[in-house]
């Protein structure tokens, strides 16, 4: 079973999508199975990360922005703006697909795990996540 969610991002950072994914899983009506997420973009990521303290997510973003800064003279790919090449690198260092088992009709996420779309552009816009659910 295939579904799709759309996340509209207007700034860099982690946008939580746990509720949308859980809703798709519920509507599939499977007690056990596997939910696979696929992001159709190369300048954003899918991430499972701490959902409790927002300071952890902020530090994560700040750390990655320092590792992959916008003003790096190494970049030759600049036509789409200074945040484009860093976004591709960040996407390569993280994930664009995630597979999460389903048990009792719910994702088997740990207590402190949330699912996030990590936008790496300043104005990402419409981001599509395809969801595949099967037994």
**15: enclosing H helix or E strand:** strand 13-16
Cα end-to-end distance, the chain, whole Å: 10
**How does 21-40 read in b/e, with b if 16+ C-beta sit within 10 Å?**
bbebbeebebeebebebbbe
Residue 10 Cβ vs a copy of itself, minimum distance, rounded to whole Å:
19
Find the binding residues for a copy of itself in span 94-113 (CB under 8 A): 94-101, 103, 108-110, 112-113
Give the Cα separation of 131 and 46 in Å (integer).
12
Q: How many CA atoms lie within 13 A of 135 on its CB side?
A: 3
Q: Which is nearer to a copy of itself, 26 or 58 (CB)?
A: 58
Residue 123 contacts a copy of itself per CB under 8 A: no
Total of residues contacting a copy of itself (CB under 8 A): 59
Among 19, 58, 123, 125, binds a copy of itself (CB under 8 A): 58
DSSP at 25? H
Residue 28 Cβ vs a copy of itself, minimum distance, rounded to whole Å:
13
Q: Residue numbers of the site for a copy of itself (CB under 8 A)?
A: 1-2, 32-34, 36, 38, 40-42, 47-50, 53, 55-56, 58-60, 62-64, 66-68, 72, 74-77, 79, 84-85, 88-89, 91-101, 103, 108-110, 112-113, 128, 130-132, 134-135
């Amino acid at each position: 079973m295939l579904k799709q969610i759309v996340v509209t991002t207007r700034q860099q950072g982690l946008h939580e999508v746990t509720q949308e994914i859980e809703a798709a899983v519920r509507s599939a009506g499977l007690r056990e199975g596997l939910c696979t997420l696929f992001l159709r973009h190369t300048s954003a990521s899918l991430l499972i990360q701490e959902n409790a303290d927002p300071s952890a997510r902020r530090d994560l973003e700040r750390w990655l922005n320092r590792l992959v800064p916008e003003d790096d003279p190494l970049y030759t790919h600049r036509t789409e703006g200074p945040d484009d090449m860093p976004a591709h690198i960040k996407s390569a260092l993280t994930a664009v697909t995630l597979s999460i088992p389903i048990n009792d009709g719910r994702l088997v996420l740990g207590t402190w795990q949330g699912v996030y779309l990590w936008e790496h552009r300043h104005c990402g816009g419409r981001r599509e996540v395809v969801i595949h659910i099967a037994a």
